[in-house]
Amino acid sequence: MEVMVMPHVVTLNGTSAKLTCTFNSCYDVDHKHFSLNWTYQECDNCTEDLFVQFRHRVIISRADQFWGRVEWSGNLEKNDVSVTIHDVQTSDEGIYKCHVLNPPDRHKGLGTIHLSVVTEEPPERDSTVAVIIGASVGGFLAIVILILVIVKCVRRKKKQDSQSEAQKTEEEGKTDGEGNQEEEGK
């Protein structure tokens, strides 16, 4: 027997929360022998209160905090024993356990869900600010790189100009006073 649940469910106060519980069994479900218990614990060391069970049919407890707010959402033919709690309150926060037994399976399956109830939805993440900051930093870096390239090019050009000026001066030194090239063999 394997039971699958979402271990953590977060829901907004006043809305509905579906506690999904499904199971795998080697055997088909026989309504006469199948059993299910949904329990609630306010804390780890608190007592478990039974609020939904299946004994030949779904039975929702009348004498607990969930009366009138719990709905069977499962489908036994699909191995689904989910329940939905409507108008969730902050007092519903706690630990929910789905106990399943499908004879002739010998072992009871257990799924545990921690329900958290929030009083307001977290704000949607707005990426506009991140895009603006990223674009600004990227633009700034592009300008810095461009300036560095220009400075390097200007320095290289000045160095080439000064080298060619020195070369001209050196060549002028090899001419006679009238601008004619001196012969080296004289």
For residue 185, which amino acid is it? G
State residue 59's pLDDT score.
92
The predicted model gives 150-165 an average pLDDT of 80
Burial of 160 (0-12, 13-18, 19+ CB in 10 A): exposed
For residue 80, which amino acid is it? D
The predicted model gives 17-37 an average pLDDT of 94
Locate the domains of the chain by residue range: 2-118, 128-167
pLDDT tens digits for range 159-180: 877 777 777 776 666 655 555 5
The predicted model gives 76-93 an average pLDDT of 95
pLDDT band at 113 (very low <50, low <70, confident <90, very high): very high
- Closest by CA position to 111, among listed 125, 99, 95: 99
Q: What DSSP element (H or E) covers 55?
A: strand 49-55
Residue 176 phi, psi (nearest 5): -80, 180
Is the C-alpha dihedral spanning 163, 164, 167, 172 positive or negative?
negative
Whether 183 shows a pLDDT value over 60: the answer reads no
User: Given 2.40.420.20, 2.60.40.10, 1.10.1200.30, 1.20.1250.20, which CATH number is that of 2-118?
Assistant: 2.60.40.10
